[in-house]
Structure 1
Amino acid sequence: DQAEGEIGAPMPGVIASVLVAEGQAVTQGEALVAIEAMKMQTRISAPRDGRVKALHVKPGDAVDAKDLLVELG
C-alpha cells in the first residue's frame, strides 16, 4: 500500500509526459503525469491539493502497476 501523498501507477505502461515540476503547488484533480498503455493515454490526477514533493519518473520511463510516480506534500 502507498503512504499518504504517494501516487502510484494504476497500470503498467510508459510515461508519456510529466505535467508538473517539483515544488509546484497543485489542486485536487489537476493532471500530474500521463501514462501510455495499449496506445491510450491515461492522465493521473492529484487526489488532493498539495505541493509536488518529489517526481520519481520522467518521460519515456517504463512503469509497472503501483510504481511510485509522484509524492505530494
Structure 2
Amino acid sequence: MSFRPVELERGKILHIKALALGDLNKAGQREVFFELNGQLRSVLVKDTVAMKEMKFHPKAQKSIKGQVGAPMPGKVVEVKVEVGSKVEKGQPLCVLSAMKMETVVNSPLAGTIKAVHVRADASLEGGDLILEIEE
C-alpha cells in the first residue's frame, strides 16, 4: 500500500506504512493494519461510508410457523409474492442466488402473505427473515 512520513512537530517524524484493510464487521468497523516506525500495528476504524450501505435484517424465528427465513447467505434475485397474496404450500416465494447458483424458497404452508421484508438485490445471511405468512 502506501508509505508516508508524518511530522508531528519539528524534529519528530513518524514513518507510517498502510498494509491492509480487514472486512467490515457488524458494528461497521474495519481493522486497519499498518506499520508504525517499523512495528506492526492494527486499529479498528468506523467505516461510515460502508455503514450507509449495510443493511441489517431480523432473523426468522423458527418457533413461529409463518416466518420464512433465508436457507443460506445470498442475494435476492426475485420476490414472487406481495403482501396480501394467497399462497399454497410449496409455492415459490422468492429466488436467492449464491455463487452463481439459484435457490427457490418455497412456502412452508398455505396462507396469506402478511409481510415481505426483502426486495430484489438485497444481500442476506442464512436465517434472515424473508417474509411472514398468516394461515
TM-score range (shorter-chain normalised) is over 0.9
Match of 1:25?
86
Alignment partners' CA distance in 1, 2:131 and 2:96: 13
In proportion to residue count, which structure has more helix? 2
Instruction: State which structure, 1 or 2, has the greater radius of gyration over its C-alpha atoms.
Output: 2
Match of 2:105?
44
- Long gaps (5+) in structure 1: none
Match of 1:63?
124
- For normalisation by structure 1, the TM-score amounts to 0.96
Alignment partners' CA distance in 2, 1:4 and 1:26: 15
After the TM superposition, which parts of structure 1 deviate over 4 Å for at least 4 consecutive aligned residues? none
| DSSP-derived class of the 1:43 partner | strand
| DSSP-derived class of the 2:77 partner | strand
- For normalisation by structure 2, the TM-score amounts to 0.53
The alignment-based identity, stated in percent, is: 37
Higher relative contact order (CA 8 A, sep 6+): 1
Q: Residue 115 of structure 2 is aligned with which of 54, 57, 62?
A: 54
Alignment partners' CA distance in 2, 1:36 and 1:25: 25
Match of 2:74?
13
- Long gaps (5+) in structure 2: 1-60
